[in-house]
A and B are shown apart, each in its own frame.
Chain A
Amino acid sequence: MHMDELLRLLKDGNTRTIEQLASELHTTDADIRRQLEFLEHIGAIRKISAQESGCGHCGSCSGGACKGCMPKNAKQNMGDMWEVVSV
């Protein structure tokens, strides 16, 4: 039951890469990816978007329309991040 172990690992507050999780759980990257997909689907984890940093004032925050917005085309190669919603 890797998913139990995976969620237990995430309780310690550390950040891990998919490769590290695969290594710690003695499995493959593909196995971790499918588990993440499943956990995301059932709402146990959620993806965090680096592009969600709009200012909330200009009405088109994601477009870099104002000073407070994430700049246009910024943070596009930052990889994917997930966080635990409930364990």
Chain B
Amino acid sequence: MSAATIALLGQPNSGKSTLFNALTGLRQHVGNWPGKTVEKKEGSFSYQGKDYNVADLPGSYSMSANSDEEVITRDFIASGKADVVCILADSSQLERSLFMLADYAGISVPCFLILNMADVAKNQGKKINPAAIEKKLGIPVMLFSATDKNAYDQFYKTMERAIKEKAMLNVTSLEQEYKKVDGYSEICETLSDAVIPGYTPMWLTVKAMEQDQVVTAKLRNTLPNGIQKTVEMFVKQSQGAIATGGCKFAWIDGILDGAVSESKTKAKLGKLDRIYTHKIWGKAAVILTVVLGLIASFIPALPIMVMGMGVDSVNGLIRTSLTDAGLSAFLTGLLCDVLIQGLSFVIKMLGFVFGVTLVFGLLEEVGVMARISYVFDNTMGKLGLQGKSVMPFLVSFGCTMGGAAGARVIDNWGQKVLTIALAWAVPCGAAWAIIPMLSTVFFGAGAPLIIVAILFVMILHMWITAKIFSRGLVKYEDKCGMIMELPPYHKPKWGSLMRYVFGRTKDTFFRVVKVVLLVSIVFWLLSYSTSGTENSILYKVGVTIEPFTKVFGLPWQLFIAFIASSFGKEGAVGVIGALFTGGGSIYQITTSSAVTENINQILLANVSRPEALAFIFAITFNLPCIVALAATYQEIHSVKWTVRIAAYYTFTALLLSCIAYHVGLLIW
């Protein structure tokens, strides 16, 4: 008598491989299925003097022809090579894992059902009655844990029973479900057992309704033309896989009814989630979380800012020492006003990069960022966007170029353009480093209020921009809903969080230091003149354009810094560093006060608070940088829209600057 062959069938992670290894031990070999790159695992074992062959079929979700794995699996079974099919299901989630059994129903090969991971189900408090399930299915069923060596004796007995009884799955109640679907009975009546050997008319009808390509092709080759056309007509009229899938789930529920006892937990939300997902309070809670997060970012930023100020204070000593040592004024200025001053700015900026990354990284780690994303998702619909547009926006908080690239997940071109246009309004990482630094310099303890104001203006800006740009770009029917599975709240993994925060801070340092120093050198040189500052190129240009720049509340130096910020926000810091430092010529003629080495004091002496407010708003909402501009073009492939977005942001930045200046005049 030849050895019986057992085919192991189950969804991925159903414990198939554990069972296969336990059954075969070293008596197994691995290869590929003919003509496919899918792994083929076969082996053998003996039980009570009898030999058995085992085929570990590829793990697949169902028996449909959606992948090579699924086609190989069902072809192997239907070929009759297996004497019995061992179907594995995960006991801890039978509602979903019995789907394979439901999809198998109708294949004319004996089978038995193994409810694996019984230990996990038991720990979940589930009580499963395999005898009740067996009665309904008509095939041997057993509770099992593939990791429990003592359970295998029972497994062998169940397997032998299935082989001996040639146990066939009772599909009566499943067919009753299918009969409720329009077109099922009509198609089924046209088919017979002989159409495709190994498959019943029920199984073939269901697969035809699901528009399974392999089954459809086989029916086309097998059925007479008239019947084929009738089948195709009913298939077209049917609800397809959605309807048959619903039948399978209904059948599974019927099988489990009375056989599994568990407390069916109705959807329950935690306290925090009840607030975040609340229709009214959700948005307020999220905005409050973001505002508090930004304010909290100042705390870890503070020690690093103090370090930056420390560099400022030694700058004076270094300048005196260099002058005493006889170094030329040019070299002393270059070293102190450009290098050391630039470094001081960069260190202060880094404080906020560190703070913002730490606080928002922490919020993400504990699961709060996902809730923020969820709340904003719903707002996206109101802006004419898809929910997934929120991801480019979140990425834009780090880098607008990343945000523009992130819009690639949006298929609709109009929505992609609108998403990128709105992503530009989100202050990037560089802006979040500069804004708090300048706010602290000019407004001291009032700096967090500036941050809050920026945040509110950002939301307003996005709303107005959406209204302006959405016309012609998006249609109501383009919108579709989204489903989110919010991650559970958990304690942060401090090690990985800190590695991420330090990594980001380090990357930012190297990127920013290059830009700041380069821009500082260029503008310092443009403002330097040995024959009197009035003769420097920059001064001449500056005083010429100042009547125009004053319209926006910006002195010419800050206007030039605004222009530089179009190439990269860090560039604005470089310009400020070059134009307002003590040894530089521009500073000396723009102020009559004595030379002071502290950049904070210099800025306070030369720039009024309304001007500073105007400048902060101007650079925050200016076009992000040249690279973001290029990334935008690369994603939307339209010069017209790229230019339109850039011009719009330049105009709105100056408009906001003008408004902020006049608001500032009212306050101070």
Contacts and interface: CB of A to CB of B under 8 A. Distances in A.
B500 A73 contact: yes
Interface residues of B, number: 71
Interface in A33-87: 33-39, 41-42, 44-45, 48-50, 52-56, 61, 67-84, 87
A14 B378 contact: yes
Contact of A56 (B241, B273, B405, B485): B405
Interface string B396-436: 00110111111011000000000000000000000000000
Given A22-B266, A34-B95, A78-B369, A52 B408 contact: yes
B485 A1 contact: no
A81 to B, nearest CB: 5
Contact of B481 (A30, A68, A84): A84
B483 A21 contact: yes
Contact of B388 (A10, A42, A81): A81
Contact of A53 (B267, B391, B485): B391
A23 B266 contact: yes
Interface in B262-290: 264-269, 273, 277
Interface in B113-144: none
Contacts of B266: 22-23, 28
A42 B395 contact: no
Nearest to A45: B483
Contacts of A75: 364, 391, 394-395
Interface in B346-405: 364-367, 369-370, 373-374, 377-378, 380-381, 386-388, 391-392, 394-395, 398-399, 401-405
Contacts of B401: 55, 67-68
Given A30-B93, A78-B364, A67 B243 contact: no
A11 B95 CA distance: 26
A43 to B, nearest CB: 8
B249 interface: yes
A1 B386 contact: no
B482 A81 contact: yes
Given A28-B264, A78-B364, A15 B482 contact: yes
Contact of A69 (B66, B370, B402): B402
A56 B401 CA distance: 11
Nearest to A43: B66
A36 B300 CA distance: 42
B399 A67 contact: yes
B62 interface: yes
Contacts of A23: 266-267
Contacts of B99: 34, 38
Given A22-B267, A67-B511, A77 B381 contact: no
Contacts of A22: 266-267
A25 B395 CA distance: 33
Contact of B402 (A55, A76, A80): A55
A70 B429 CA distance: 13
B627 A67 contact: yes
Interface of A: 1-4, 7, 9-23, 28-31, 33-39, 41-42, 44-45, 48-50, 52-56, 61, 67-84, 87
Given A16-B484, A77-B487, 13 more contacts: A17-B277, A17-B486, A19-B486, A21-B483, A28-B266, A34-B96, A48-B409, A55-B631, A75-B391, A77-B369, A79-B367, A81-B387, A83-B388
Would you list the 3 A-B pairs with minimal beta carbon distance, nearest first?
A53-B406, A10-B481, A34-B96
7 contacts: A17-B277, A17-B486, A23-B267, A33-B96, A39-B242, A50-B391, A82-B484
